[in-house]
Amino acid sequence: MTTSSVMFVNEGVFGVSGDAQVPMETVRWSNGLAAPMDHGAWILTGINTGHVRVTAQCLDVAPPVEVTDWEEIVEVSVRSIEGDLRINSGYDITPDDLPALNPQGPGWYRMRVHASGRSADPDGVSDEPVEDYLIVVWPQEPAESVVICSSKMIDKALLANADATPEENSHATPASESDRRSDVRARLVRSLQDD
């Protein structure tokens, strides 16, 4: 089953989560597109605030990889521990027309995140959707994250999060991008703690 929706995002992210409290302290930001946690994940957008098009697909087994028309594709493992695993804005706004992504209940799933348009308006505000996402999920035991189709944004994030010396990292990522991601993370943590 494949379902699409236009969704509002704020602070440059949207979530894939269940009913359990979001474990922000466990976020692994390494690939710059899909950031898994102990349960659930964040998807990082290019825009800071506005609307994006999201399509969700829940399958029984891994589909073949198709890179046609997608600028970025990563796969991560995501765990559901409580309630329905759903795509949401991170602010209790969940598109009703997107399906639950854990039809077999709590457990481990593999999530393939496809994205296009993230570089169209970095950190911008857009009332009209300029970014597209396809989230495909199927049951699977946890495995290492994989970058299937990279971009400059993903490459920068991977370099910034690699086990390298501080000198190497300072040359890998422009300060503005690093500062933006740090600022986004800090604002997310504050907003979740205020609830």
Beta strands 146-149 and 34-36: pairing type?
A: unpaired
Predicted confidence band at 92 (pLDDT cuts at 50, 70, 90)?
low
| pLDDT over 90 at 167, yes or no | no
- From 43-47, 95-99, 187-191, the region with the lowest mean pLDDT: 187-191
**pLDDT score, position 14:** 92
CATH class as words, domain 2-190: mainly beta
Please compute the mean of the pLDDT values over residues 160-187 and round it to a whole number. 45
Per-residue pLDDT of 116-156, as tens digits, reads: 999 999 899 988 999 999 999 999 999 999 999 888 888 88
Side chain identity at residue 147, one-letter code: V
Tell me how crowded residue 94 is: count the other CB atoms within 10 A of its CB.
16
